[in-house]
């Protein structure tokens, strides 16, 4: 069954552009790359090639061809393997060997064993780790004291 699908797909040609402008596509792109506006390209095609079209059709042709070119470039870049950049290691503050795994575990355990400091600051902020944080209105706080 799958072979039948592949046969059908291989027998069908790729859909060609339906634009009547397609034969003039290279000319239009060359003019656009020189900074000629779509309105001026429309006038040139009517004058020189006796081909009447709208400026929006010229614009759509330019965008479609640019999209096809961009997608083709993406397809090519997907297939080309780009090696990762080689980055030289910088000498940091500690150029010697780092602490051992055991020493790191001891430091973590010592930090967890420390009790949090509960010192009030100058702005009367007090934090009690056993209580949830609450927003207190300063006016209500003074009246309750």
Q: Which residue has the higher pLDDT, 144 or 53?
A: 53
* Contact assessment for residue 51 and residue 38, using Cβ atoms and an 8 Å cutoff: no
Residues 4-57 pLDDT 10s: 767 777 777 666 667 788 888 888 888 888 999 999 999 999 998 888 999 999
Give the DSSP H/E element, type plus range, for residue 5: helix 2-11
pTM for the whole structure: 0.43
Residues 107-138 pLDDT 10s: 999 988 887 766 555 666 667 788 887 776 66
Mean of pLDDT values over 57-80: 84
Question: How many CA atoms within 13 Å lie on the side-chain side of 122?
Answer: 0
């Amino acid at each position: 069954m799958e072979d039948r699908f592949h046969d059908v797909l291989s027998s069908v040609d790729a859909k060609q552009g339906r634009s009547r402008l397609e034969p003039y596509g290279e000319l239009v792109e060359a003019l656009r790359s020189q900074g000629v506006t779509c309105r001026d390209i429309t006038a040139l095609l009517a004058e020189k090639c006796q081909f009447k079209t709208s400026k929006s059709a010229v614009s759509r042709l330019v965008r479609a061809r640019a999209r096809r070119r961009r997608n083709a470039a993406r397809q090519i870049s997907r297939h080309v393997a780009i090696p990762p950049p080689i980055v030289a290691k910088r000498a940091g503050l500690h150029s010697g060997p780092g602490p051992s795994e055991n020493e790191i575990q001891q430091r973590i355990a010592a930090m967890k064993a420390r009790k949090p400091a509960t010192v009030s600051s100058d702005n009367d902020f007090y934090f009690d780790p056993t209580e949830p944080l609450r927003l207190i209105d300063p006016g209500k706080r003074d009246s309750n004291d």
